[in-house]
């Protein structure tokens, strides 16, 4: 005697509508009120976007929105930067994917690789924004230097090529990270040029990247490995120095950047600079030394208690007086300094959260092994704590990206302020105000939304991997 399986009830669409929209009388009432309202708003939005909107203000000035007052005959630098960053993005993603695969292998789990197409689908808002840009660019009659379609296709193609880094054998995994680092720096330098002093930060970055990521598995003793690492770091510094000696290619420093390019770059630069500072502050605030703790706490709480704009004013009006007479700091340098000092306090709180979330057993285990406190911090605590705070750091980056619009107020021509230039043109004086604003809003939204999605995904994955 077999038990009859329960009847499977497939809901018809009428039942679904009834369940989701007219479950009870007040739900039905809300639907009846909201449905026409939404429809009307959608109709108005459609009319604005496709019929009434005067989008010429954006179309004609598309290049202005993207690169602002950046010299037009130097545009190839930006295009090269897009291409190199595309490659770096691909290599980084491929290496991360490969590393995840390695971990899954270690744990004996099945690994499902997410394809590049999946990544693009996840970032649909960005894809849509780029499609919008291409649509506007195709009807642009001012004649761009290089067909934007080629740039986008090149960037995508290069990131696909870079993504193949996941095929690298496991022992070369670190090389993928090194390559990503080098590409990021190179992409930055292709615009800012190989200036006289910039070899110092560059060799620091590349030297430490080389130290951390040179493959050493083939050497037996710890001493040899250490020697190889030091040699790699010195080699990287030497290579950088040599390049700077040979190549004297002045570029365009950030003082002359503007538009969306400036918005993206200032937020990236500020968060990169703020990270080490924030890490130090977090460690100081967690320290058992009262003097350090007091200083770090004061700094963090004061900075978090004031709006960013006051710090930007500080940078604008006072920072110039705080350096010896004759030192000339540009507006953008001062703004980046203010954004860095501001973000460092928030990064410190995020890192502190990560440090606190780590069970004390980790530190105790290190102590039981007889490790020195700095080694425990560097080898046991920080790797886990920093991994846990990645989503929050992405969130902080989104916040900084949105806050970079405040440069508008201190008169720097970032993405939002390009509008001022547009509406100063005779053709657009006092017209198409909403159109340019909506375009700028879509631009900010596309980046912030894509990043927030990515941060949510990282959070889910980290929670699962716990």
Partner 1 sequence: MTTPQTTEQARPPFWRDIRVIRVAGQIGAVVVVFLILNWLISNLINNMNRLNISTSFDYLFGPTNFQIPYDPQFNPRSPVWEMTLVGVKNTFLAGFFGIILASIVGLIVGIARLSENWLVARLATVYVEFFRNIPPLVLIIFFGFAVFTFGPFPILSESWEVKAPGSDDNLLLINNDRWGVPGVTQDGSVAIFWAILAVGIVAAVLVWRWRTRNFDRTGQPHHRVLWVLGVLIIAFLIGFFASGQPFDMSWPALSENRRQVVGGFEVNWGFLSITIALGLYTASHIGEIIRGSILAVHGGQSEAANALALSAFQRYRFVVLPQAMRIAVPPTINQFLNLVKNTSLGTAVSFAELTALTKTSIGNGRPAFQSIVIMMGIYLAFSLIISLILNIVNRRLQLVSR
Which single residue is written with the structure tokens 């929209």?
A: 21
Task: Kindly tell me which of 186 and 448 has the beta carbon lying closer to partner 1.
Answer: 448
Give the DSSP per-residue string, 162-218: HHGGGGS-GGGHHHHHHHHHHHHHHHHHHHHB--STTHHHHHHHHHHHHHHHS--TT
Of the pair 66, 406, the CB lying nearest partner 1 is at 406
| Interacting positions 38-57 with partner 1 (CB under 8 A) | 38
Task: Count, in order, helices (H) and strands (E) of the chain.
Answer: 21, 0
- Alpha helices for 307-417 (secondary structure H): 308-313, 331-357, 360-368, 373-375, 382-388, 390-403
- Give the span between the Cα atoms of 423 and 428, in whole angstroms: 5
* Binders of partner 1 in range 347-376 (CB under 8 A): none
**Which range in 31-39, 193-201, 337-345, 456-464 contacts partner 1 by CB under 8 A?**
31-39
406 is a contact residue toward partner 1 (CB under 8 A): yes
Distance CA(71)–CA(387), nearest Å, equals 40
Q: Is 250 helix (H, G, I), strand (E, B) or coil?
A: strand
Q: Residue 219 interacts with partner 1 (CB under 8 A)?
A: no
User: By CB under 8 A, is residue 445 in contact with partner 1?
Assistant: yes
Binding mask 290-329 for partner 1 (x = CB under 8 A): xxx--x------x-xxxx-xx--xx--xx--xxxxx----
How many beta carbons lie within 10 A of that of residue 80, not counting itself?
Answer: 15
How many residues touch partner 1 under the rule CB under 8 A: the total is: 52
Q: Taking contact as CB under 8 A, which single stretch among the options 228-236, 269-277, 339-347, 402-410 is the one that binds partner 1?
A: 402-410
Residues 152-181: x/- map of binding to partner 1 (CB under 8 A)? ------------------------------
Give the closest residue to 457 by CA, choosing from 383, 398, 394, 400. 394
Q: Does 462 bind partner 1 (CB under 8 A)?
A: no
427 forms part of the interface with partner 1 (CB under 8 A): no
The CA distance from 162 to 183, in Å, is: 11
**CB 138, CB 176: distance < 8 Å:** no
Q: Is 62 in the site for partner 1 (CB under 8 A)?
A: no
Query: Which of 11, 15, 18, 27 forms a contact with partner 1 (CB under 8 A)?
Result: 27
What are 445's two structure tokens? Answer: 């939204």
Q: List beta partners, residue 259.
A: 414
Least distance (Å) between residue 134 CB and partner 1: 22
Residue of 433, 454, 459, 462 interacting with partner 1 (CB under 8 A): 433
CA 179 to centroid of chain Cα atoms: 18
Q: Which is nearer to partner 1, 181 or 376 (CB)?
A: 376
Q: Are 258 and 64 in contact (CB under 8 A)?
A: no
Q: Is 449 in the site for partner 1 (CB under 8 A)?
A: yes
Q: In angstroms, give the least distance from the CB of 266 to partner 1.
A: 13
| Interatomic CA distance for residues 122 and 250, integer angstroms | 38
The least distance separating partner 1 from the CB of residue 367, rounded to whole angstroms, comes to 13
Contacting residues toward partner 1, per CB under 8 A: 20-21, 23, 27, 30-31, 34-35, 38, 284, 288-292, 295, 302, 304-307, 309-310, 313-314, 317-318, 321-325, 398, 402-403, 405-406, 408-409, 416, 430, 433-434, 437-438, 440-441, 444-445, 448-449, 452
């Amino acid at each position: 005697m077999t038990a009859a399986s329960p009847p499977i009830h497939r809901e018809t669409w009428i039942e679904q509508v009834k369940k989701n929209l007219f479950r009870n009388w007040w739900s039905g009432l809300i639907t009846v009120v909201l449905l026409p309202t939404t429809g009307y708003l959608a109709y108005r939005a459609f009319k604005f976007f496709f019929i009434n909107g005067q989008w010429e203000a954006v179309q004609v000035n598309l290049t202005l929105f993207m690169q602002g007052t950046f010299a037009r005959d130097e545009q190839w630098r930006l295009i090269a930067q897009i291409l190199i960053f595309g490659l770096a993005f691909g290599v980084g993603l491929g290496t991360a994917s490969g590393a995840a695969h390695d971990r899954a292998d270690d744990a004996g789990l099945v690994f499902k690789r997410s394809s590049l197409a999946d990544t693009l689908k996840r970032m649909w808002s960005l894809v849509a924004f780029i499609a919008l840009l291409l649509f506007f660019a195709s009807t642009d009659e001012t004649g761009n230097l290089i067909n934007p379609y080629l740039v986008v296709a090149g960037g995508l193609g290069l990131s696909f090529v870079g993504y193949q880094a996941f095929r690298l054998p496991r022992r070369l995994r670190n090389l993928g990270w090194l390559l990503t680092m080098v590409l990021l720096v190179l992409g930055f330098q292709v615009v800012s040029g190989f200036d006289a002093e910039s070899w110092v930060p560059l060799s620091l970055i590349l030297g430490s990247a080389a130290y951390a990521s040179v493959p050493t598995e083939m050497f037996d003793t710890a001493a040899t490995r250490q020697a190889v690492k030091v040699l790699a770091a010195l080699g990287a510094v030497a290579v950088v120095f040599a390049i700077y000696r040979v190549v004297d290619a002045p570029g365009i420093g950030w003082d002359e950047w503007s538009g969306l390019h400036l918005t993206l770059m200032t937020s990236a630069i500020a968060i990169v600079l703020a990270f080490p500072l924030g890490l130090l502050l977090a460690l100081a605030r967690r320290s058992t030394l009262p003097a350090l703790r007091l200083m770090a706490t004061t700094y963090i709480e004061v900075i978090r208690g004031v709006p960013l704009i006051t710090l930007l004013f500080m940078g604008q009006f006072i920072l110039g007086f705080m350096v010896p007479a004759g030192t000339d700091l540009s507006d953008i340098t001062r703004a980046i300094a203010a954004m860095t000092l501001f973000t460092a306090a928030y990064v410190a709180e995020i890192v502190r959260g990560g440090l606190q979330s780590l069970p004390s057993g980790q530190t105790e285990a290190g102590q039981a092994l007889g490790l020195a406190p700095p080694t425990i911090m560097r080898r046991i605590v920080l790797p886990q704590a920093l991994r846990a705070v990645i989503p929050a750091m992405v969130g902080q980056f989104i916040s900084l990206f949105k806050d970079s619009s405040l440069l508008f107020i201190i008169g720097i021509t970032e993405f939002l302020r390009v509008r001022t230039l547009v509406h100063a043109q005779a053709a657009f004086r006092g017209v198409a105000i909403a159109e340019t604003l909506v375009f700028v809003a879509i631009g900010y939204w596309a980046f912030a939304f894509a990043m927030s999605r990515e941060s949510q995904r990282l959070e889910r994955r980290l929670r699962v991997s716990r």
